[in-house]
Structure 1
């Protein structure tokens, strides 16, 4: 049984249409990406006080994704380019979030993943390519080719050696991050793969799709262990609790579903 506490507070600000949110590992900061015209902001709130503490400029197109590193030191925001920021180090004006680098793309960025020691940032974009970057210098390290549709989702294994990508071509692809070798292509969805999450031990993969299903895969074999068909709209996002016992899915059918699972 899940215990749900009372409603705590609401953020009241002209946020615009919210596209992505991320919470720092220590629970102190909320980062929000939004669609605002004529420019898009990344906004940061102090969750303890509820105060807006920073409004970051730099994006002129909608911010599709924001991701915070596992150690909470850096975060990235993606539109048609990626901005990498230091969450704790201030800029010349005394504020938070010094900009570290800009990673240039020619099409919309849909997905970002950062490895555990912040030496590699992976981006997936509408041009079907997966790019590997040094987030500190902005140098492009590699480009993975293989998808035939927009890259919609990315997840890295806990050891940082394996990358899984989901695409509008309805496939999931498993890559060796260092060599760029395509290890396996997983098929089974009948529409674009919109979201991915790995179990804490890195052995089980869960995918959400516009075909309204979630699939649970054994990563080592590519076998589908279970298909969940409880949504009536695109499964936009899937999240696992830190202990791997609860699966949360958010859908275009305007529902959030919470399931107890045994992996």
Structure 2
């Protein structure tokens, strides 16, 4: 499929302040976004139409994960709380508290029965979405600094930390694998075949790591990522690696050669902190520090 290089107009401009996260639902029909303004917004990416606002966070919203059936989603942020939401009603189903500092990252397991959250308190907490208990069912405490990013993949939880390590917890086997990257990690993403992890770090480098032995298979450079949490992702069934940048651009690399194949300009005075690739076709969304969300389509 062709890479999305044309920004649809108009841009989405309902957020006041930086956008920290954009996520498609599993069908790609809608986008959820969260920002500095404490709001979570539901969008139609094809019409640029704002649909619904979800309001409960007392501080900035830092991450969102959407359940497999699109009926619920989970969010986290600066108020140290994880919220489980009903998409259609806009109400909160559960609130999970226990982190001692801001919560940077959340994810569901495959059937949305478990939520994992990672925090500046260097802890990962696991929550049972079906239980009325407000206490975590498990806590992972190996990180030595903030947990900036995580992903649940089958029985594994992959975490990235400011301490420069990527940790893979195999809960079924009771095994922990630690890969020292050596620079603060801002983003981790599992490949479709689950053989590799895409790791973004604050040395303006993205690394493709082999999960089986911890070796680096490829590196991707050219963007700027030195100060902010900038997220990267795979695109088009892992054909591309895509990332925002602190220079107001979106970069796309060929995953095999590591060569930059596309640079998309937004504005030089803003940071593109988050990107999300459509799960089924050539469309992409990006969120920026000026509060705008751009939807990109192919020609």
Structures share fold, TM-score greater than 0.5: yes
Q: In the TM superposition, what is the alpha-carbon distance from 1:53 to its structure 2 partner?
A: 2.3
Aligned position for 1:143: 139
Of structures 1 and 2, the one with the larger relative CO (CA 8 A, separation 6+) is: 2
1:9 aligns with 2:10: yes
**Equivalent position to 1:102, from 95, 98, 110:** 95
**Equivalent position to 1:233, from 225, 247, 269:** 225
Q: In the TM superposition, what is the alpha-carbon distance from 1:228 to its structure 2 partner?
A: 2.7
**SS state of the match for residue 225, structure 1?**
strand
Aligned position for 2:163: 169
- Alpha-carbon distance in 1 for matches of 2:192, 2:15: 36
**SS state of the match for residue 251, structure 1?**
coil
- Deviations along 1:55-102, one digit per CA (max 9) or x if unpaired, are 2221111111122123322211101211111223x2xxxxxx332110
Once the two structures are overlaid, the 10-residue window that deviates more, 57-66 or 8-17, is 8-17
Q: In the TM superposition, what is the alpha-carbon distance from 1:206 to its structure 2 partner?
A: 1.0
**Equivalent position to 1:199, from 174, 185, 191:** 191
Q: Please show how residues 19-58 of structure 1 align to structure 2 within 5 Å.
A: 19-36=20-37, 40-58=38-56
- Alpha-carbon distance in 2 for matches of 1:49, 1:188: 41
- Alpha-carbon distance in 1 for matches of 2:137, 2:54: 27
Do 2:151 and 2:190's aligned partners in 1 also have CA atoms closer than 8 Å? yes
Q: TM-score, with normalisation over the residues of structure 2?
A: 0.77
Do 2:158 and 2:166's aligned partners in 1 also have CA atoms closer than 8 Å? yes
- Alpha-carbon distance in 1 for matches of 2:7, 2:167: 41
Structure 1 residue runs without a partner (length 5+): 91-96
Aligned residues: 249
CA RMSD, Structure 1 to Structure 2 (Å): 2.1
